Structure 1
């Protein structure tokens, strides 16, 4: 009797320990952060956490620096995501074609994705260096004035976008290439019979069929890019001033420079809800796309 019961539920019994471990590792930090957001605490053993209710959330939404960080997060995230999506799809379509050296081209193109973000951030600091950096040397070589890439309020976020685009466009490309290999060939054969051009097949067959795959890539990158911390902290630490201070950077500053653990926790709770809301919206859009296709 017991053996029969275990045999029927063997897959659940085997996966249950791992599932419980993952749930605990996710649930405990979220629950602890949510609880701490209702307290005022400076991380001092001499002054224990003090219950303040919703005061941290009220103070957060009245904080102009929070809204600036939210705007910087949106600017950086959606700008980088849009460029990565367009470039990733375009490069995937190019690499999907047969040509000599395609395997080597794929390997070289995917290398930035496996690099350590902090190390790459430090390398890009040297590339953007105002006096001896490669980018300014190229600008001067063609007769243009050098730029203060990471030191200018107006240029710092686009400069950070370039780093993120360089490192993570290969991820979008990889997902789209996987989707291209699964496309059915019947629509293309029918299009060939009808005399459709390459451009027509791209716009009316390939891209519509790839839409769920592209939305999956967008969802995965959105979750990741909106939480970007390492590249920004390694290059600018939110500067100059607070020009590149995103929500993640501001939460770190509140917690570990100002020691306002409760306020930082309330920011992280709001940030978590924001990411969850955007993710669920993309999931709904992807499901509707799959149904319509």
Structure 2
């Protein structure tokens, strides 16, 4: 009976492959998920980029012509809707992020030290995160209703006349910023509180022995040590605030209101796509918006690396 013996070359190849797979096993196990997630990201982005270079409208399956960068020139020269939407997006993100970080830092410092009933306080602070943004928007829409809203009733009890809140052309954007601050400040609190609990007590105790007061210890010790965590909070919340859509649409509806008072880039692109079926123009707005988000991420990441040094 013939016996087939494995050749030295085949066994060597097998052992070499086994060693390589063992060294790179973490990438091999993660590869299927990475390919799947990459496909979910790359295909929609590539399709949106293609649509932005065409005159697609009416239906994405309708025939369209390649027009190059004509859509980009049209969008970037639009001073009636596009650039005001850019300013609202930047203003909404900047103001909301500033107050969320400041208030989040203050609340995190209050919760840093243990006290009686702190678990109940933490649960109460985190309650806004439980509800979905659409539900939060609808709730505050009822509270700020000019006629039956609780907000104007409370103002009436202290002698202040009713305010338009979400119905006003100039008060709608600040009101939606307030709603965003109310819901998402707890997220910043969680991130900063996690960073505070990881800090060592030795530098603070040494400064306390040297006679430094609470503000001096916070400014020169706690804040510099916490800065990498602060940058992470700004990065995560800032990118999310840039993409805010649900609260704005739930409170003001189509077009960000009758005068587009809360129309950000997300709301503007949504209206172009689903209200007017101008897929080429809306894809152009989304690509520009994507570049703004990528630029913001790059700037904040660079700042985080500098703070970590």
TM-score with structure 1 setting the length? 0.96
Change (3 A) 1:204 1:46: closer
1:6-54, CA deviations, whole angstroms, 9 ceiling, x for partnerless residues? Answer: 2222111111001111111111111111111000111437841211111
- Measured in 1, the distance between the counterparts of 2:18 and 2:303 equals 44
Matched position secondary structure for 1:63? coil
Q: Answer yes or no: is the 8 Å Cα contact 1:34–1:265 preserved in 2.
A: yes
- Aligned position for 2:125: 109
Partner residue in 2 for 1:94: 110
Deviations 1:52-92, CA, capped at 9 Å, x for gaps: 11110011012121011111111111111111010000000
Q: Is the Cα–Cα contact under 8 Å of residues 150 and 240 in structure 1 kept in the other structure?
A: no
Q: Which residue of 1 is the match for residue 26 of structure 2?
A: 11
* Residues 243 and 266, structure 2, Cα contact 8 Å, conserved in 1: yes
Quick check: 1:151–1:240 contact (8 Å CA) kept in 2?
Answer: no
Quote how far apart the aligned CAs of 1:133 are. 0.8
| Pairing 1:40–2:58 present | no
Q: Where does residue 85 of structure 2 map in the other structure?
A: 69
Query: For 1:45 and 1:150, how far apart are their aligned partners in 2?
Result: 35
2:60/2:279 contact within 8 Å kept: no
Q: Does 1:242 align with 2:260?
A: yes
Structure 1 stretches of 5 or more lacking a match?
A: none
Q: Which residue of 2 aligns with 1:174?
A: 190
1:85-129 superposed Cα distances (whole Å, 9 cap, x missing partner): 100000000011221110111111011112111111111110101
Change (3 A) 1:46 1:95: closer
- Residue 4 of structure 1 deviates from its aligned partner by 2.7
Q: CA offsets, 1:186-245, max 9 Å, x none?
A: 212211321222222112111111111111101111100011000000110201321111
Among 127, 146, 151, the alignment partner of 2:167 is 151
Q: What's the C-alpha RMSD, in Å, of the aligned pairs?
A: 1.2
SS of aligned partner of 2:271: helix
Q: Which one is further off, 192-201 or 28-37?
A: 192-201
Alignment counterpart, residue 269 of structure 2, candidates 248, 251, 264: 251
The number of residues matched between the two structures is: 291
- Structure 2, unmatched stretches of 5+, are 1-14
